[in-house]
Amino acid sequence: GDSVTQMEGPVTLSEEAFLTINCTYTATGYPSLFWYVQYPGEGLQLLLKATKADDKGSNKGFEATYRKETTSFHLEKGSVQVSDSAVYFCALTTFGNEKLTFGTGTRLTIIP
């Protein structure tokens, strides 16, 4: 079945540090890939997505590139801020199946 493996957390960084959160996937078929973010006390929000190989999704300074050869979709940001503190989920859907399959989430804390 489909699955997403995410970097174990929690992750603690200083403000302005470089961020990478690793995500790899296993899927039957050709998946679309997503990063969702969950701020404290709120629901999940779509951060970025990519629907085909070599596509780069980007939003709010975050980027992730769909790498079919390594089945990966790592999340990166060049300079994190305190407001980026949240839980980040990598997820996928496959063609003909709209349900999202999520990773376990990575809690990110940014220290001023």
Under the rule (CB under 8 A), what is the footprint of another protein?
A: 4, 6, 36, 41-46, 49, 89, 91, 98-100, 102-105
Closest CA to 92 of 71, 70, 63: 71
Using the minimum distance from each CB to another protein, give the nearer residue, 18 or 95.
95
* Least distance between another protein and beta carbon 48 (Å): 11
| Rounded distance between C-alpha atoms, residue 57 and residue 66, angstroms | 8
Using the minimum distance from each CB to another protein, give the nearer residue, 13 or 100.
100
Closest CA to 7 of 98, 79, 68, 74: 74
Using the minimum distance from each CB to another protein, give the nearer residue, 16 or 58.
58
